[in-house]
């Protein structure tokens, strides 16, 4: 029986997750994510798929983040008609996120077409439309954690909590039949143990192959205790010395809700009463309601807290929800005492751009970077020490205080990735995806050197690589 796994996205980069499983004549896609970064990176989203979308029997989606789900409407537009299997909470989040992505695509295309019309150039079409997104959403099939499902002939899957965002899943796949059957574990994006709101990532003990993310494969996050001390210090200094506003570019799903919860938990300790705290993101507001709806998926501490204070949900307390454009623009008239949580998390779109334009040049203001920043994004430029950003055609001097708080990351760091791998018996081979080259090389080195984790083989996937699953546990690549 022919069984292959081809790596078509998030190879030696973090975004655009996409992997093609072929079993005999059936094809299954793991993730179908949008490529994010600079303009050149994002243009690659317009490239044709490396396979015929109509030939796919099904898709399995690890979680809702757009770098894993964002090309699903394009896949449907190109002819895919099959089911999209994912966790039930991811279905609800994607119903928000994919339509939002479509509206952003349409707005950006309209903006470009106005410029093109001045030069008598043909108009462009958006990557996909709201109708494409709605059609993709109609093809979702909701699963529970722990539910075993046959998704194509000779392939069963089971989703387990990855602890990254609400509904995030690592995927166990049993491929083939009888003694020739192989088990592949796809990590998706792995979260971190002990983080607020979500449960810890599920540990898996058996696999013939582990396909593992490596976003922070060469990095160590600050401890949670030190991260809380760091945040308290930033807020205290902003009150006593800076006396400006604080901007938090945040992913609308996951990071925004985590920040809201922290501001509630530490309201007294961090002296939050001094601040007007605003969540300026319609999508994050909708996502927050999904988090509340799927209350049963949260960690025990969060559930105990909510039971103790019924009717006082911590994701609704002390935060002003900013829904309209006019309400968002009105925040620009406030010059101090304001905390704004807004998307996008990498500062490459959304309302945070407007707030950066009005605050980034002010030395009394602070910007807290609290998530991964892809190469080529404005957020990455801030992390790397840029002296100015171009926003809506205007050059904005970077005079605000820039803080990179890595301890808030929803991705496992090197030590946490190793601990997760420790639980596999017999050290199955590992293929690294979803990481930049430097991070991946760092993780390869420690995997090979640590006798406790040393796998039979470890490799970094490059785009187009195709693995013969029949040969496992040996990694045998099929020539392209």
pLDDT tens sequence across 76-127: 999 999 999 999 999 999 999 999 999 988 888 888 888 888 888 888 899 9
Based on the fold, state whether residues 190 and 339 are members of the same structural domain.
no
Inside any domain, residue 269: yes
Q: Is the distance from CB of 313 to CB of 303 less than 8 angstroms?
A: no
Domain final residue pick, 353, 375, 408: 408
Based on the fold, state whether residues 107 and 238 are members of the same structural domain.
no
Domain final residue pick, 393, 408, 423: 408
Inside any domain, residue 362: yes
Q: Which of 196, 167, 207 is nearest to 85 (CA)?
A: 167
Residue 135: alpha-carbon gap to chain centroid: 22
Residues of the chain with pLDDT under 70: 453-454, 480
Q: What is the pLDDT of residue 453?
A: 66
Based on the fold, state whether residues 213 and 293 are members of the same structural domain.
no
For the chain, how many structural domains are there in total?
A: 2
For CA atoms 254, 236, 406, 332, the dihedral sign is: positive
Inside any domain, residue 245: yes
Q: What is the pLDDT of residue 108?
A: 83
Host domain of residue 332? 224-408
Inside any domain, residue 477: no
Domain final residue pick, 353, 388, 408: 408
Mean pLDDT, all residues of the chain:
94
Return the structure tokens found at 454. 């040393």
Question: From CA 61, how far away is CA 58, in angstroms rounded?
Answer: 10
Q: What is the pLDDT of residue 141?
A: 98
Q: Is the distance from CB of 166 to CB of 294 less than 8 angstroms?
A: yes
Question: From CA 467, how far away is CA 69, in angstroms rounded?
Answer: 23
Based on the fold, state whether residues 195 and 229 are members of the same structural domain.
no
Inside any domain, residue 479: no
Q: What is the pLDDT of residue 480?
A: 66
Based on the fold, state whether residues 200 and 232 are members of the same structural domain.
no
Based on the fold, state whether residues 308 and 213 are members of the same structural domain.
no
Based on the fold, state whether residues 118 and 170 are members of the same structural domain.
yes
Based on the fold, state whether residues 399 and 275 are members of the same structural domain.
yes
Inside any domain, residue 120: yes
Return the structure tokens found at 471. 């040969």
Question: From CA 292, how far away is CA 269, in angstroms rounded?
Answer: 25
Cα dihedral 259/351/344/128 (nearest 10): 140
Inside any domain, residue 478: no
Based on the fold, state whether residues 294 and 353 are members of the same structural domain.
yes
Tell me whether residue 75 is exposed, middle or buried, using C-beta atoms within 10 angstroms of its C-beta: 0 to 12, 13 to 18, 19 or more. buried
For residue 455, which phi and psi values (nearest 5 degrees)?
Answer: -80, 165
Q: What is the pLDDT of residue 468?
A: 98
Q: What is the pLDDT of residue 346?
A: 94
Strand 3-9 relative to strand 466-468: parallel, antiparallel, unpaired?
A: antiparallel
Q: What is the domain-level CATH number for residue 343?
A: 3.40.50.10890
Q: What is the domain-level CATH number for residue 166?
A: 3.60.15.10
Q: What is the pLDDT of residue 193?
A: 93
Q: Is 337 left (phi over 0), alpha (psi -120 to 50) or beta?
A: left
Based on the fold, state whether residues 247 and 380 are members of the same structural domain.
yes
Based on the fold, state whether residues 38 and 98 are members of the same structural domain.
yes
Strand 18-23 relative to strand 3-9: parallel, antiparallel, unpaired?
A: antiparallel
Inside any domain, residue 480: no
Based on the fold, state whether residues 287 and 302 are members of the same structural domain.
yes
């Amino acid at each position: 029986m022919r069984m292959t796994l081809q790596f078509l996205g998030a190879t030696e980069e973090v975004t655009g997750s996409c992997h093609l499983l072929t079993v005999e004549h059936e094809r299954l896609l793991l993730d179908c994510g949008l490529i994010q970064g600079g303009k050149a990176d994002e243009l690659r989203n317009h490239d044709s798929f490396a396979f015929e979308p109509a030939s796919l029997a099904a898709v399995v989606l690890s979680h809702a983040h757009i770098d894993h789900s964002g090309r699903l409407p394009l896949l449907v537009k190109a002819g895919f008609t099959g089911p999209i299997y994912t966790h039930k909470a991811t279905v609800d989040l994607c119903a928000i996120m994919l339509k939002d992505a479509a509206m952003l695509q349409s707005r950006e295309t309209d903006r470009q077409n106005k410029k093109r019309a001045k030069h008598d150039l043909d108009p462009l079409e958006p990557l996909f439309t709201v109708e494409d997104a709605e059609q993709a959403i109609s093809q979702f099939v909701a699963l529970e954690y722990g539910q075993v499902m046959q998704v194509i002939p000779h392939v069963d899957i089971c989703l387990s909590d990855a602890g990254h965002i609400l509904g995030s899943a690592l995927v166990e796949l049993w491929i083939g039949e009888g003694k020739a059957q192989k088990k592949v574990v796809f990590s998706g994006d792995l979260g971190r143990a002990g983080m607020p709101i979500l449960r810890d990532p599920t540990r898996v003990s058996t696999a013939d192959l582990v396909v593992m993310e490596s976003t922070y494969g060469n990095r160590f996050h600050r401890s949670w205790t030190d991260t809380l001390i760091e945040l308290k210090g930033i807020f205290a200094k902003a009150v006593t010395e800076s006396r400006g506003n604080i901007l938090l570019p945040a992913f609308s799903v996951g990071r925004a809700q985590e920040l809201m919860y922290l501001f509630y938990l530490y309201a007294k300790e961090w002296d939050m009463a001094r601040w007007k705290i605003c969540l300026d993101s319609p999508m994050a507001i909708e996502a927050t309601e999904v988090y509340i709806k799927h209350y049963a998926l949260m960690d025990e501490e969060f559930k105990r807290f909510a039971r103790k204070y019924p009717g006082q949900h911590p994701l609704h307390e002390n935060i002003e929800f900013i829904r309209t454009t006019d309400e968002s623009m009105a925040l620009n008239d406030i010059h101090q005492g304001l905390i704004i949580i807004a998307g996008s998390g990498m500062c490459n779109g959304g309302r945070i751009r407007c707030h950066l334009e009005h605050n980034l040049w002010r030395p009394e203001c602070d910007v807290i970077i609290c998530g991964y920043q892809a190469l080529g994004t404005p957020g990455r430029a801030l992390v790397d020490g840029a002296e100015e950003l171009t926003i809506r055609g205007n050059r904005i001097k970077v005079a605000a205080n820039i803080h990179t708080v890595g301890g808030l990351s929803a991705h496992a760091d090197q030590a946490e990735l190793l601990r997760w791998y420790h639980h596999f018996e017999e050290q199955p081979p590992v293929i690294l995806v979803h990481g930049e080259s430097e991070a991946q090389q760092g993780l390869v080195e420690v995997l090979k050197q640590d006798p406790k984790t040393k796998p039979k083989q470890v490799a970094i996937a490059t785009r187009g690589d195709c693995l013969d699953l029949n040969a496992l546990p040996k990694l045998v690549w099929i020539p392209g």
